[in-house]
Amino acid sequence: MDEIVLMSDPQVAAIGIQECGEALVDVRLSALLVDGSRSDAEGAFAHLREGVLERLLAAQAGLPEGLRLLVVEGYRPPALQARYFEEYAAALRALNPAWSADEVRAGASRYVAPPEIGPHTAGAAVDITLADAGGRELDLGTRTNATPEESQGACYTAATNISQRSHELRRVLGTALASAGLVNYASEWWHWSYGDRYWALATGASAALYGPCPLPRQAR
């Protein structure tokens, strides 16, 4: 497996942000399927930047017949991002008491981006999978948001310890999303983004288009 540039890598933080001011929009008002398992009182989970949604719709149009995109989570408030990161970091410290603070931070960033980097807080990232024509979620090898520990590394996009069918579905998902301009975080097969710092690093863009942003008032 190729070496993965982690979200905690200084290269990511070094990318500047030239905020374009694009609005967050509600994906539930689009033609995409939305999984409500991570819903919240404000509906934050179902919001993405307009440009990200446009690219997801283009990706869905490119899928083979009988397949649909299923959005699991988009925007994440900064406080929630920080909580997720600290909870996972604490779990790693307990499992690996000899790890240094830097090792814990790097290990945690395989699964949750550091709060100051997190593309979900910019509305730029989406956790996404595939469903059949009837809206039933398909098996892509692990549940979305499976940790490296619980999945024995099967959460990595290029993992080999999954079925041939799951591998093929990951390939189909990846081809459609990459063709629409999104990039994958290779330790999470379900995590794709556009316009954030990680996207800028992966594509060679001079700056990110989206930085952390608040949820629209009307969505609260």
pTM of the model: 0.91
Which helix (H) or strand (E) element contains residue 176? helix 164-179
Rounded Cα gap, residues 26 and 75, in angstroms: 10
User: Distance from CA of residue 25 to its chain's centroid?
Assistant: 17
pLDDT tens-digit map of 37-93:
988 989 999 999 999 999 999 999 999 999 999 999 999 998 888 888 888 889 889
pLDDT tens-digit map of 27-40:
999 999 999 998 89
pLDDT of residue 114: 86
pLDDT tens-digit map of 2-16:
578 999 999 999 999
Tokens of 85: 């990161």
CB 61 within 8 A of CB 131: no
Distances (CA, A) of 173 to 14, 160, 189: 29, 17, 9
pLDDT tens-digit map of 161-211:
999 999 999 999 999 999 999 999 999 999 999 999 999 999 999 999 999
58 by Cβ neighbours in 10 Å (0-12 / 13-18 / 19+) ranks as middle
pLDDT of residue 1: 36
Rounded Cα gap, residues 163 and 213, in angstroms: 39
Strand partners, 184: 192
